[in-house]
Amino acid sequence: MRNLQLDSDVGQIVAIAENLRSEYKNYNSDWVESPFAWIKDLPSRTRGKVGEQLIEQWCIEQNFDVSSSPDSDADRIINGLRVEIKSSTLWKSGIYKFQQLRDQAYDIVICLGLSPYNVHCWVLSKEMILEQWRSGGIGSQHGGSRGTDTAWLSVNPNTPQIWLTPQNGRPADAIQILRQFTEVLHHR
């Protein structure tokens, strides 16, 4: 088996994924020895639910206060922040596609990327998402360049967009950025 790049945060997400695995039946061996192979071929909506559960459990293990959002404009409330959670498995082309980004009532987006033997994570403010969408850094998902309701973010983890490079995609750094966002909220 190929080894995961196991810093403690990647190891935590792997452990959570292993615990969730038994709840899902459509295990497929596309990523033969990957601890995330069982997630890869789940239906899209189910993969999204697993991504939300991974982030929720990981944040709880990192001592964040996590609860469900009272409405559908955000997925979770994390230390008082309204958080939208997007996840993607690595596409054959080597990119993650974080889909269904909308202008809704959330503060930040957590993008969780699962590859066969690694985990990537970015924490982005809603303002950054909207700014990049307006400027073309994030593309519209439906309706081409005229699409205005839904966007998607494509990220090659080896060569991320310049505006993403302050974040290197490492889960340990994403947690620190999440902590910074929650500290700003509590100092308002």
CATH T-level assignment (fold) for domain 8-182 = Trna Endonuclease; Chain: A, domain 1 (3.40.1350)
In this structure, are residues 26 and 36 in contact, taking their beta carbons and an 8 Å threshold?
no
**pLDDT tens-digit series, residues 55-89:** 999 999 999 999 999 999 999 999 999 999 999 99
For 93, residues 6+ apart whose C-beta sits below 8 A from its C-beta are none
**Could you tell me the pTM of the whole model?**
0.81
Residue spans per domain, the chain: 8-182
Of the given ranges (87-101, 132-146, 170-184), which has the lowest mean pLDDT? Answer: 132-146
3 state SS of 119: strand
CA distance 26 to 37: 10
Residue 12 pLDDT greater than 90, yes or no: no
DSSP class of residue 22?
Answer: T
**pLDDT tens-digit series, residues 14-27:** 888 888 877 765 44
